[in-house]
Structure 1
Amino acid sequence: MPMEFIVETINKEIINPSSPTPLSHKNFQLSFLDQIVPPVNLPFIFWYPNYHSRVDVVAKIEARNQQLKKSLSETLTRFYPFAGRFSRNNDNLIECNNNDQGVVYIETRVDCLLKDILEQPGGADDESMRKLLPLQMRFSEEGQILLAQVNVFKCGGMAIGLSLSHKVADLFTLVLFIKTWAAMTKGILSHEVIPFPDLESISSSFPPLDLHVPEMDWTGSNEGVSRRIVFDSSKISMLKAEAASKEVPQPTRVEAVTALLWKSAMAAAASSRGGLKKQSALLQWVNLRKRMNPPMPEFSTGNLISCFAAKTSLDWETELQGLVKQLRKGMREFSGDFLPEIQESNINAVSAMHEYVNEVESLSKDDEVDVYNCSSWCRMEVYESADFGWGKPRWVSGLYKLITPPNSFLLMESTDGEGIEAWVYLSEPEMAFFECNRDLLAFASVNPSVKL
């Protein structure tokens, strides 16, 4: 049975930047790459157990809340577009100087212990988990960029829920924001530790276009189900060895895990159709910052992501080694063909992006092809970045189902930095076969407890 709990809102306010945004920055222009991102929010939750005595827990929670609000205000001076609002007259513009509308900040109390959820972390139904995120709130202001919700459990544990517009930020930008907010909460002001975000490089390199750009529809249909699949580091080493081949002698852990998830999902799809196999394609999403030539500034904010398609057609390609080869081939072709083209000129970038969007759309509409999506948060130091002064989060989760279609995988490092935790989203009939796949279960566990 899904776990049920009650979340009571006890405070709701707007957090403004600690310093007003200068008039010279009253408008923030989105980039061409932002234009093609759908109008959805990135919803993630950072979980923090209370390891201390419950004595004076109320006072400690209040002190933490005051710290969080003060540091959030200071952080917004650096990420000033997050405190703005989307323009009603221009979808590609954020208005940043209208009294700095600010960020919605919600405080709640949850009528259960944090460990009750972490013992069955994938067991809470989506509707319950949504209560911990600022997704259902409706305010008179429109066009909000960022919302935060701090949930306090009966034990004193906390879960910080964030909802950030994907139109303004990709996952890398979200992690940079979290790192800055956490460092400022701890009183770290050194620019070497928390460099200023580069807000302009992406929009200046890929300026917005005054034309209709086909918008990619990633939004979830809510018709599928999700499962949390965990790969321990020892099992990943074994998996990498099995996935190795002459052509790819040292697959990465992301390649090996992605290939196994893809293989297991294809088998589940075929089983749900009574054994009917189809050609398959996997869209692997990539952070472009270090792949550009020359590389974009390390702390560039906005959307600087794209994807390449790895495809199968022959039987041998559906085996683990064959799938890793296809993933490596897709990345090689992407780096050799697509990236140079979008960097040559705006005209080439527009043409390449249009072609890329059209290819993704045509793949998605092809009834003869099963299409999967995969995004990786590995090597982004998510856990290390989110230490607000009371330790790293014990778990980081997200309602990925809200922003993706079925047939999606999200990969994230485990707390130890060595294992991988994958959130898999499939149709319900396919998930019934997927979570029982013997090849998958030889290397992974389905929804184990999060250890406190």
Structure 2
Amino acid sequence: MKVQIFSRKLITPSSTTPNSLQKLPISCLDQILPSNFYTSCIFYYPVSGEEDGVHTAEKSEQLQKSLSEILTLYYPLGGRYMKGNLFIDCNDNGAEYLEAKVSGCLSEFLKEGELQTELRNHLAPPVIQPDSSPLLIVQFNLFECGGLAIGISLSHKIVDGFTLFTFVDAWATTCRIGVDKVRPPTFQLASFCPPKELSAIKAFVPRSEGDNKIFEKRIVFNGAAISNLKAVANDNVNGPAGPKFEPTRLQVVTAFIWRALIRASQARNGCLSPSFQTQIVDMRRRTALPVPENMCGNFGTMSIAQFIPDDDSTVQLHDVVNWIHEGMSSTISECAKASNGDDIFSILTKKMLKMKEIFETTEIDVHMFNSWCRFPTYEADFGWGRPEWVSNVYLPMEGVLLLDNKDGDGIEAWVRLKENRMLDFQEMLDLV
């Protein structure tokens, strides 16, 4: 299969952004993120028996029209980031809209085992863009069969996972039933968390993988598999080692993967090594700040769980669930005490300095997890039904992404590791 882009254009807001909104300061949380890194996802829509090329062309027109309309509410996405000035110029220059043709049939691409990493990344704009690029880039992909894949890339400078999927849901609603049915978002995070001096934490950079190729594995946990993991984690619930709470779907899947990673490291090194697991935590509704639920921007912190082995160490599933729960509970407790921007900045600084310390200790394994679970991932109905599948794009760095499956009761895990680590990890999956 090949992807050929045949059209590029800018989609501007259907109404001019008022002068009072044209200079949007970014928050101290937005500050720490690179300006050229984008968050991307792809939505896949198979063709139905009634559709043909004419209808498909109309879909692209509908997407462009509704994108222009929704940009009046999500007006910063039609602007440009002014590097060094700590604000978004909401100048209505527009989002970029690409149209591409894909050889082959979408159904073949979606077959399990044929989810080709290289092709998948051609269905969405690259995750690294020049600083002057539009903050939103959309790629409309038309397969020969009439199936569609819509790739969306948003600048991480002002967008987190919540904002990404809230925007996509709002755009789909606009396309399907009108922009007047969309709840307007809020872009005033800087009023709660204004920009700060960040020189103390600028040096934090995840470990570089150098020339090592990163391999990717997709693991699907259906509802039954997750129920089984919960049962295993709860085996000792009445004993001293068992969890004192009901583990969530996310916790047991994260624990299953982290446990396999710990044991893979043990097989590789001949002994258990200290291991840290990190997870992004959405702070909306978790602080004392009066932040609206529809607040857009980067409003997350990091949960850090740790395993420090000793002579009596065991790595049972319920143990790993407990470590994750303890890390998350500690982070949520920190958030609950935050009542102003200085408190948020203090949480941010401590987490970043802790991560810097961990990454500089080479004998410690660090496993970075991110979750898109509970976002409206599969609600993106533009008028022709919900997507058959939603995926991420490949990133050349180690990590784990978790997202809901279409049914909502399962979880897909995308694990990225260097080749030798991936081989050890795959062997451990059958043993845990």
The answer to whether TM tops 0.5 is yes
Report whether the alignment pairs 1:398 with 2:361: no
d(CA) in 2 for partners of 1:220 and 1:115? 36
8 A Cα contact 2:138 2:152, kept in partner: yes
1:105-148 C-alpha deviation (Å, 9 max, x unpaired): 0001001111121114564133x322111228989x92421100
Contact 1:281 1:310 in 2 (8 A): yes
Q: Which residue of 2 aligns with 1:217?
A: 205
Going from structure 1 to structure 2, the CA distance change for 1:319 and 1:293 (only over 3 Å counts) comes to same
Asked if the contact 1:83/1:96 (under 8 Å) is kept, the reply is yes
Pair 1:296-2:291 in alignment: yes
Which of 255, 276, 280 aligns to 1:281? It is 276
Cα deviation 1:355-405 (Å, max 9, x = unaligned): 221101111221221111111111112102x11111111111112525xx3
> When the two structures are superposed, what TM-score results if normalisation uses the length of structure 1?
0.87
Out of 4, 10, 14, the residue aligned to residue 18 of structure 1 is 14
Among candidates 233, 237, 240, match of residue 227 of structure 2:
237
The DSSP-based 3-state class of the residue aligned with 1:77 is: coil
SS at 2:150's partner residue? strand
Residue 96 (str. 1) matches residue 87 (str. 2): no
> Is the Cα contact below 8 Å between 1:220 and 1:401 reproduced in 2?
no
Alpha-carbon offset, residue 28 of structure 1 = 1.1
Q: Which amino acid aligns with 1:18?
A: S
Which runs of 5 or more structure 1 residues have no equivalent in the other structure?
Answer: 443-452
What is the CA-CA distance between 1:276 and the residue it aligns to? 3.0
Q: CA RMSD in A?
A: 2.2
Supply the distance in 1 between the matched residues of 2:205 and 2:40 (Cα, whole angstroms): 17
Name which of structure 1's ranges 61-70 and 375-384 shifts more when overlaid on structure 2.
375-384
Are 1:421 and 2:428 counterparts? no
Judged with a 3 Å threshold, the aligned counterparts in structure 2 of structure 1 residues 157 and 225 are, in CA distance, closer, same or farther, namely: same
Provide the rounded CA distance (Å) in 1 between the counterparts of 2:405 and 2:107: 18
Task: State the shift of 1:218 in Å.
Answer: 5.2
Partner amino acid, structure 1, of 2:72: T
Partner of 1:150: 140
Other structure's SS at 1:382 match: coil
2: CA distance, partners of 1:370 / 1:307: 17
In structure 2, relative to structure 1, the CA distance for the partners of 1:219 and 1:392 (3 Å cut) is farther
Report how far residue 87 of structure 1 moved.
Answer: 1.3
Deviation at 1:234, TM superposition (A): 0.8
**What code does the residue aligned with 1:326 have?**
W
Kept after mapping to 2: 8 A contact 1:264/1:439: no
Question: Which residue of the other structure, out of 47, 52, 55, is the alignment partner of 1:50?
Answer: 47
Question: 2:186 aligns to what?
Answer: 198
| Displacement of 1:24 | 1.1
Distance 1:115 1:34 in 2: 39
The equivalences for 1:38-187 within 5 A come to 38-39=34-35, 40-53=37-50, 57-90=52-85, 92-97=86-91, 100-120=92-112, 123-126=115-118, 128-135=119-126, 142-187=132-177
Q: 3-state DSSP class of the match of 2:318?
A: helix
| 1:52 to partner: Cα distance | 1.9
| Contact in 1 for aligned 2:301/2:348 (Cα 8 Å) | no
2:329 maps to 1:332: yes
CA distance in structure 2 between the aligned counterparts of 1:369 and 1:290, rounded to whole angstroms:
33
Shift of 1:437: 2.6
Native 8 Å contact 2:220 2:413 kept in 1: yes
> Paired residue for 1:436?
427
Equivalence for 1:6: 2
For residues 219 and 438 of structure 1, do their structure 2 counterparts lie closer, same or farther at Cα, with a shift above 3 Å needed?
A: closer
Unaligned runs of 5+ in 2: none
Change (3 A) 1:427 1:102: same
Q: Match for residue 207 of structure 1?
A: 194
**CA offset digits 1:327-356 (Å, max 9, x no partner):** 1111222222x3245x24444443332222
Distance 1:230 1:211, change over 3 A: closer
> In the TM superposition, what is the alpha-carbon distance from 1:64 to its structure 2 partner?
0.2
What is the identity percentage for the equivalent residue pairs of Structure 1 and Structure 2?
Answer: 34
Q: Offset of 1:317 from its aligned partner? A: 5.6
Letter in 1 for 2:24: F
Q: Distance in 2 between matches of 1:272 and 1:211?
A: 38
